Chain A
């Protein structure tokens, strides 16, 4: 199997990469971890004339906790995030989610930021970005801007990034101290993309009721989904069966899953409601223990 012909550039700085992208614009694709792009090239589903490989821009390989954020550089591999003690301590839901990304060989190459701007709606990283109300920092010819997740994802595999812009960093706001969390996924096989994945974040009051709850779903439409009505229903509630049943209904209303070879839309809708309840309970359990593991 051979990918189509392309011209290859391996810039060593962000400026150089952006210059290449503005010169070649729509003809170019950015190559980071390559775990989604290279299969598409091998299968000739993508035929870019130019590849701009950012793997030589070493300054983009970092994780930093700063200004209440976890900043993940564009060359931070999934594996780096999986193993970083600061991720385990400050954003454990991200660490749990990243373990669901492919397999170790994929995680050794694939990047968190690349997964996000690839915008596969059944991928785990975009759902975590939405859960934490994160953003992606991009650099283009006219400078740097942060794109909040709500403005980033348009539909399947489509974002608002310009063809001359490079995503240089993903910014995950740190969850509030003591927040409980959960990430659950149903997939056909271990390491597959999610049929449905649900991430939850819960803070609890002293009586064990929900102060604030967030839910984020993958695999249920063209973009990650935050079911706002379901989240609003949870405020001030204990997680009793009737509350969770109402939340499950609200989740199912908020999504527009499609049928494909892996699962029907009806099945995905059903699973989304079930997983939301389970994830909320697991998150609440952690919140009661003060957000510990």
Chain B
């Protein structure tokens, strides 16, 4: 016989919008975002915490959304890639930088990189290349070879500093 599975009512703020849902305890935060809220910008790669594609921000800090349950996000604030751009017309400076510096090819890993880099540049607005490498070491990209991603992060840092 299968063990019971509990259900829980949760209230989560995602990109500034409050959502109330009933979820099964075993529902991963990544699947909650994608299937319950339709926010498919958060990508799901390895689903065991290695690839970083599912990185979102929990109360402003990057975490793996595949290593949390939705029920654990009750009362917390989540930011996903959909919450980066200021409106439908414009990109976030980090997104612009990834575009301009060719910091992506297929784009599957990009949302995870963006959410990692956004938090990183808030803490360290003028990083060295070494610090950039360390900061993105938890995000895998199988297309770019990382060189252009590092360029993009550097460019993003410049844009953000100039915009201040």
Using a CB–CB cutoff of 8 Å, the interface residues on chain A facing chain B are 1-8, 10, 34-35, 38-39, 41-43, 49, 51, 53, 55, 79, 102-106, 108-109, 190-191
Q: Which of A10, A38, A191 contacts B67 (CB 8 A)?
A: A38
Instruction: Report the Cα distance A108→B28, complex, angstroms.
Output: 17
Whether B138 pairs with A4 at a CB distance below 8 angstroms is: no
Instruction: Report the Cα distance A2→B31, complex, angstroms.
Output: 9
Whether B68 pairs with A34 at a CB distance below 8 angstroms is: yes
Instruction: Report the Cα distance A191→B135, complex, angstroms.
Output: 11
Contact of B87 with A by CB under 8 A: no
Contact of B62 with A by CB under 8 A: yes
Whether A3 pairs with B64 at a CB distance below 8 angstroms is: no
Whether A105 pairs with B62 at a CB distance below 8 angstroms is: yes
Whether A108 pairs with B26 at a CB distance below 8 angstroms is: no
Q: Which of B2, B25, B61, B69 contacts A108 (CB 8 A)?
A: B61
29 interchain pairs, CB-CB under 8 A: A1-B47, A4-B3, A6-B3, A6-B25, A6-B26, A7-B3, A7-B5, A7-B6, A7-B25, A8-B6, A8-B8, A8-B69, A34-B67, A34-B68, A34-B72, A39-B49, A39-B67, A42-B28, A42-B66, A49-B3, A51-B25, A103-B138, A104-B138, A105-B52, A106-B49, A106-B64, A109-B63, A109-B68, A191-B138
Interface residues of B in 44-72 (CB under 8 A from A): 47-49, 52, 55, 58, 61-64, 66-69, 71-72
Whether A8 pairs with B71 at a CB distance below 8 angstroms is: yes
Interface residues of B in 15-50 (CB under 8 A from A): 24-26, 28, 31, 47-49
- Choose among A4, A35, A103, A105 the residue with the greatest number of B CB atoms under 10 Å from its CB: A105
Instruction: Report the Cα distance A5→B6, complex, angstroms.
Output: 8
Contact of B116 with A by CB under 8 A: yes
Chain A nearest Cβ from B21, distance in angstroms: 15
Determine the chain B residues whose CB is within 8 A of the CB of A55 once the complex forms: 72
Q: Nearest residue in A to B26 (C-beta to C-beta)?
A: A3
Q: Nearest residue in A to B59 (C-beta to C-beta)?
A: A108
Using a CB–CB cutoff of 8 Å, the interface residues on chain B facing chain A are 2-6, 8, 24-26, 28, 31, 47-49, 52, 55, 58, 61-64, 66-69, 71-72, 116, 120, 134-135, 137-139
Determine the chain B residues whose CB is within 8 A of the CB of A38 once the complex forms: 28, 49, 66-69
Determine the chain A residues whose CB is within 8 A of the CB of B3 once the complex forms: 4-7, 49
Known pairs A1-B47, A39-B49; A104 contacts B64 (CB<8 A): no
Instruction: Report the Cα distance A186→B139, complex, angstroms.
Output: 20
Q: Which of B4, B6, B63, B137 contacts A191 (CB 8 A)?
A: B137
Instruction: Report the Cα distance A222→B139, complex, angstroms.
Output: 30
Whether B67 pairs with A35 at a CB distance below 8 angstroms is: yes
Known pairs A8-B69, A39-B67, A104-B135; A3 contacts B28 (CB<8 A): yes
Whether A106 pairs with B58 at a CB distance below 8 angstroms is: no
Whether B67 pairs with A5 at a CB distance below 8 angstroms is: no
Determine the chain A residues whose CB is within 8 A of the CB of B135 once the complex forms: 104
Determine the chain B residues whose CB is within 8 A of the CB of A49 once the complex forms: 3-4
Instruction: Report the Cα distance A38→B134, complex, angstroms.
Output: 24
Identify the 10 closest CB pairs spanning chains A and B, nearest first: A103-B138, A8-B25, A5-B5, A39-B48, A49-B3, A1-B47, A38-B67, A7-B6, A3-B26, A108-B61
Q: Nearest residue in A to B8 (C-beta to C-beta)?
A: A8
Whether A5 pairs with B26 at a CB distance below 8 angstroms is: yes
Determine the chain B residues whose CB is within 8 A of the CB of A10 once the complex forms: 71-72
- Choose among A2, A4, A10, A38 the residue with the greatest number of B CB atoms under 10 Å from its CB: A38
Determine the chain A residues whose CB is within 8 A of the CB of B8 once the complex forms: 8
Whether A104 pairs with B6 at a CB distance below 8 angstroms is: no
Q: Nearest residue in A to B30 (C-beta to C-beta)?
A: A1
Instruction: Report the Cα distance A231→B120, complex, angstroms.
Output: 41
Q: Nearest residue in B to A2 (C-beta to C-beta)?
A: B26
Instruction: Report the Cα distance A211→B55, complex, angstroms.
Output: 47
Chain A nearest Cβ from B43, distance in angstroms: 14
Determine the chain B residues whose CB is within 8 A of the CB of A105 once the complex forms: 52, 55, 62-64, 116, 138
Instruction: Report the Cα distance A10→B76, complex, angstroms.
Output: 15
Instruction: Report the Cα distance A43→B49, complex, angstroms.
Output: 11
